[in-house]
Structure 1
Amino acid sequence: MSQEMTEVPLGAATHHMDQGGFPIKSMISTNAAAAGIGAGAEGNHHHHGTRPFFSRHRKTILAGSVILTLSAVAVLIAILVKKPWESNNSSLHNHGGFTSGDNVDLKSFPPRFTLSSSVSIPHGAQCNAHTPPLDQEFQYGQQPIRGVNVGGWLVLEPFITPSVFEPYIAQNVTDEYTLTKLLGKEKARSYLHRHYATWVTEDTFKRIKDLGLNHVRIPIGFWALGALDPDEPYVPDLSLDYLLLGLQWAAKYGIRVMVELHGAPGSQNGWNHSGRSGKIGWLDGTPNGERNGKRTIEYLTQLMKLLQGPGMEHVSPMFGILNEPAMFMMDVRLTDKWYKDSFAALRNVTGAGKGPWAVIHDGFLGLPKWEGFMPNSDRLALDVHDYLIFDNNLIRLSRQEQARFPCDVWASDMQRSSQKFGPTLVGEFSTATNDCAKYLNGIGVGYRWDGTYQTEQDRDAGKPFDEAACQPKINGHIEGYCSCLEQNRIGAYTPEYRQFLSDFTQTQMDAFEQGLGWFYWNFKTETNALWSYFDGVDHGWIPKDANSRPGGCAAIGRVLGSYEEGQNN
């Protein structure tokens, strides 16, 4: 969710740029008993009066014993080193092989996701008492979405899982494109399989349920559906199959899923979470950009067809059309038409009044731009990603001002959009009030907070660094305040700072429930607790039950005013 991006309007949302689990262990257990040829009482019996049988046939017996022993060892070795891909399992063969060093637990290997795939909905599956059972309709607009993103799983991001990228950063790996290109298809498949099998597991969904959440948003890349161009080195199919596994886990715990296309052919924003960082090659005004737009609709259509199987309508009632297209850098006429064409293609698959809600992203144009767009559409919702830290003005607000901002501004934004566009939700937000998370803005880009942020384009153009957002002239005397290293160190968090983190998180939840609700980014990270819902709960600034929150706007003395009230001020 990090950005090498131009400044967007004040308050506009931006996305960061860019292991619990199935144990990676051998399925083989060796429990062989020693054969003991000739052992026991009979082996010590001697025949008197004649030359012993063993003495007379010693060479023959020894030779036979050696042959038998070698044969037994050969059979045992063959059993022990039998490769996972040699198993008579059609789904394995469909995925291709792994390198000989991989000991893959076949139980963790996901089922194939095909047009005939289904999801079993357990009787009475219900994530919590505040949410209807999975086989009953969720009343969007009356019941709030309270969810988390399962990011960094089926679409890689360096800031979420630095360990996946760090072995290869010296070889100029910065995103999933460069990683898979460097590793090659077979090694990349094995590498990603290990990651998919460990970063998210059934226990992940169980904990999401236990925290009182009712939705998860699962990002996936276009490459999951295959049909790749020769210059697209991504691993096809495998992440799609893990998506099916995620849907099955969600169903078991009564959780609803928003499946969402996170990366489009050519990259819809040029940021690493689209799969490939650099230039935008999607609807960029070129013939290839136009082709990539059409390819994206084909991928969306295929993905929607996969979500039509039995049980899918219960577990996957929302569908994200495309994550964060950078419309502020595009011809909006092209993107508007693309949204309309995509929506029509999806409803052509589902039929009117059927299938999941379709969710479009605001493209960083601001919610007012979308007022009156596609009116009276069949279950269409608008998604905005609200972050303070990618806006040079908002990141500089005092902590008190930051905690109040959701109550004072974002709440009325949600109310206005809900009235003038229609159903509006927040697909991403976090507790972070600085951009210090490792690799958040991309690998080697730096940070706004400490004044080291500079895009490659600005560096090449010789532009100076911006002033540090921590405002060292005001706060530099506070030890560690302007240090990203200290800002990332949980041990340095004072009780007052932890209370602020709690206030800021819960005021956002209050504000976003003025619309359809929210999805926190992310469920966990490897290195930064301010982007991890699980860590926030463990460290006390996120409530253990999303449905029972002690903080929020009222707790800090702010009243959630209505949009109409705002118009009168």
Structure 2
Amino acid sequence: MATLRGVNLGSWLVLEKWMVPSLFVGLAATDETTWCVELGPAASERLRAHWASWITRDDFVWLAERGIDLVRIPFGHWVMGPPYPYHPKYGENPFPFVPGGIEVIDQALVWAETYGLKVLLDLHAAPGCQNGFDNGGMLDVCEWHTQTEYIDFSVELLGRIAERYRASRALWGIELLNEPRWDVPTAILLDYYRRAYDAVRRHLPPERAAVMFHDGFRDWREYLGALPAPEYQNVWFDVHRYQCFTREDLDADIFEHLRKTAVDLRQEADAIRATLQLPTICGEWSLGLDLEVVSLWAEGPFNHPLEHLDPFQQEVAIRAFAATQLLAFERYDGWCFWNYKTETTPAWSFRAAVERGWLPPSFAANAYPSLD
């Protein structure tokens, strides 16, 4: 099976302030929940304008022309409109989110089918938030696993998503939950994954679509035998590998990052594929080595591996980092770069990285002559 080469379409249906700071200018909001609550009735026009401009048909054309196979589309639990579970952060309005996101997905699937792209729909922000990150919808709140209502709604929503897109030829798979935090108990997570799998499979049999689950920031060995065949089929495992969020990575020089990628991450990929025996994707990775541009709330110091290199050396280093990661993640069954675009830093923008020559100009299998 050929490696799936993909790109995330993040900050489209789940806002992340660091990627689209222009939408947050003058606001106290830190995430989509507080953005919608703070703006109130004014949120609708502004967000719909963002939906219409952030990703367009032309972007699908651009990706297809460069040989990309897959787009991973993050969405929030509010995507199909109310009702959805209440959280105290919503204040007096029980349904603060702008409706209409589901029509954006409808259109994305049409574009994907037109231009030959596969789509992975990813529940990125669950009720109560599953990780406490802004990408989970509510910064510093991690309560998804604490209320049955939140978990039950997530299962039911994925069933509705599967039913809605059961006939879509572009739908490749559904990811059950993005990045549940490391302290969400594994037993709760696995029970949810099994229930959500069943909800999706009621409408999408294994031959029609993949079902994907994230590692939840824990050792992949915890999932050995957790979703066994033949009861569970066409199940994919998702890992995310970044190198700018720990003090160890920020203090390391570029040579250590290249070694870590070429040795440690390659060995991890080979071990997961050999032992877990589930098709696996590195669903998020980037060229980011600088924490300051990614997290608008992280505490310093903001040293990073490229800061003492001159501009030529920085250029060589980031190309080497890109190539080494690509070689490592090609050991998996697929990968998806985070993100397609940003307003802020090209190291996190697939399009900018391609246009600057940090990433290859084409990802099509037949784009390059053999070196033989």
TM, length-normalised to structure 2: 0.91
Q: In structure 2, the residue corresponding to 1:384 is in which secondary structure?
A: strand
Name the amino acid aligned to 1:413. Answer: E
- Match 2:219 to one of 359, 366, 374: 366
Report matched runs for 1:161-180 at 5 Å. Answer: 161-168=20-27, 172-180=28-36
User: For residues 167-566 of structure 1, what are the structure 2 equivalents within 5 Å?
Assistant: 167-168=26-27, 172-184=28-40, 186-226=41-81, 227-229=83-85, 231=90, 232-284=94-146, 289-309=147-167, 312=168, 314-326=169-181, 328-351=182-205, 353-376=206-229, 377-421=232-276, 422-437=278-293, 440-441=294-295, 443-450=296-303, 481=307, 494-547=311-364
Q: Distance in 2 between matches of 1:157 and 1:251?
A: 27
Q: Are the counterparts in 1 of residues 33 and 97 from structure 2 also a CA contact under 8 Å?
A: no
Task: Check the 8 A contact 1:261/1:320 in 2, yes or no.
Answer: yes
Q: Which residue of 2 aligns with 1:555?
A: none
Superposed CA offset, 1:105-146 (max 9, x none): xxxxxxxxxxxxxxxxxxxxxxxxxxxxxxxxxxxxx11111
Equivalent residue number for residue 152 of structure 1: 11
Question: Residue 559 of structure 1 aligns with which residue?
Answer: none
1:115-154 alignment, distance < 5 Å: 142-154=1-13
Q: Give distance in 2, aligned partners of 1:233 and 1:508.
A: 41
Name the CA distance, whole Å, in 1 between partners of 2:310 and 2:16. Answer: 26
**Cα pair 1:177 1:233 within 8 Å, conserved:** no
Q: What secondary structure sits across from 2:25 in the alignment? A: helix
Distance 1:247 1:280 in 2: 31
More strand by share: 2
Q: Give the whole-Å Cα distance in 1 for the aligned partners of 2:213 and 2:244.
A: 23
Report SS of the residue matched to 1:225. coil
Larger Rg: 1
Contact 1:181/1:233 (8 A) holds in 2: no
Q: CA deviation at 1:147?
A: 0.9
Distance 1:205 1:229 in 2: 33
Distance apart, 1:428 and its partner CA: 0.3
SS at match of 1:148: strand
Distance 2:53 2:310 in 1: 30
Structure 2 Cα separation of the partners of residues 290 and 278 of structure 1: 20
SS in 2 for 1:350: coil
Can you list the C-alpha shifts for 1:175-226, whole angstroms capped at 9, x where unaligned?
1111101111x32111110000111101111111122211111111110112
Contact 2:292/2:298, CA 8 A, preserved across alignment: no
Aligned length: 358
Please give the secondary structure, in 1, of the residue aligned with 2:144. coil
Q: Which moved more, 1:233-242 or 1:421-430?
A: 233-242
Paired with 2:350 and 2:180, the residues of 1 have a C-alpha distance of: 25
Extract unaligned runs of 5+ from structure 2. 368-372
Question: 1-side partners of 2:112 and 2:67: how far apart?
Answer: 14
Separation in 2, partners of 1:518, 1:448: 31
Distance in 1, Cα, partners of 2:247 & 2:228: 34
Between the aligned partners of 2:56 and 2:133, the Cα distance in structure 1 is 27
Stretches of 4+ aligned residues off by more than 3 angstroms: 229-234, 443-448, 547-550
- Provide the C-alpha distance between the structure 2 equivalents of 1:175 and 1:236, rounded to a whole number of angstroms: 14
Amino acid at match of 1:143: A
Which amino acid counterpart does residue 266 of structure 1 have in structure 2? G
Q: CA offsets, 1:22-52, max 9 Å, x none?
A: xxxxxxxxxxxxxxxxxxxxxxxxxxxxxxx
CA displacement at 1:236 relative to structure 2 = 4.7
Give secondary structure in 2 for the equivalent of 1:329.
coil
- In the aligned structure 2, how far is the partner of 1:481 from the partner of 1:499? 13
- Residues in 1 aligned to 2:310 and 2:226: alpha-carbon distance in whole angstroms: 44
Q: How has the CA–CA distance of structure 1 residues 412 and 177 changed in structure 2, closer, same or farther, with 3 Å as cutoff? A: same
In structure 1, how many angstroms separate the alpha carbons of the residues matched to 2:268 and 2:347? 24
Secondary structure of the structure 1 residue equivalent to 2:236 = strand
Using the TM superposition, give the Cα deviation of residue 504 of structure 1 relative to its aligned residue in structure 2, in angstroms. Answer: 0.9
